[in-house]
Chains A and B, each alone.
Chain A
Amino acid sequence: NAGVTQTPKFQVLKTGQSMTLQCAQDMNHNSMYWYRQDPGMGLRLIYYSASEGTTDKGEVPNGYNVSRLNKREFSLRLESAAPSQTSVYFCASSDRIRGFSNQPQHFGDGTRLSIL
């Protein structure tokens, strides 16, 4: 059982390039989330998808777009990367129907993205 899988794990981009971060979960969860983690800032929510077919902005959505491709997959796109988007990106998922048992969200291992 892989849980939440993020690809790639590391990426270096040049300013202005585009990039899509992929996230897939195999737990049949309804809700999925994208966070960014910056030093001294904790994790901040970029976008979330409460269920297949819906997406909503989080705390820091500017410069990003998302696609809930199907129930399993939730991608994050940077259309024109900027140095301010250098960060570690986390995808997470949660189960709407049953609530949660041990934890509210299951996290992927993160993607370290550097923009030069």
Chain B
Amino acid sequence: AQTVTQSQPEMSVQEAETVTLSCTYDTSENNYYLFWYKQPPSRQMILVIRQEAYKQQNATENRFSVNFQKAAKSFSLKISDSQLGDTAMYFCAFMINSGGSNYKLTFGKGTLLTVNP
């Protein structure tokens, strides 16, 4: 079974600064995907960024980037130039690329990020 661990229940950052959220995972699979989801107070689940395990290059999406260390099974999220709208719960998630019939996600417990003005 896969597990996802987010060791930081809460974090805070000043507006315009950079913050890094940690995520580690455990799996015996070699072909998988990793994701970061954002959940603002509206409860929507918003995909922030995704990383395919077979890709060595770290994914980036505007102000969001990841540091993917496959050997260490680490997948951290860096948010640059933090904005007030980044205040949300952030979930790290794992999915096996089985090519099969469904796409089950395993989530971490989340990190509540607060961006302070």
Contact = CB atoms under 8 A, between A and B. Distances in A.
Given A88-B43, A94-B102, A104 B109 contact: no
Contacts, number: 58
Contacts of B108: 42
A116 interface: no
A31 B101 contact: yes
B101 A50 contact: yes
Interface stretch (A20-28, A68-76, A78-86, A95-103): A95-103
B110 A103 contact: no
B55 interface: no
A42 B102 contact: no
Contacts of B104: 33, 45, 48, 58
Interface string B42-62: 111101001000000000000
Interface residues of B, number: 23
B25 interface: no
B107 A31 contact: no
B91 A43 contact: yes
Contacts of A40: 9, 109-110
A90 B104 CA distance: 14
B16 interface: no
Contact of B45 (A30, A51, A107): A107
A42 B109 contact: yes
Contact of A42 (B43, B100, B107): B107
A103 B104 CA distance: 12
Given A43-B91, A110-B43, A105 B105 contact: yes
Contact of A41 (B43, B44, B105, B109): B109
A42 B103 contact: no
Most chain B CB atoms below 10 A, which of A40, A43, A58, A96: A43
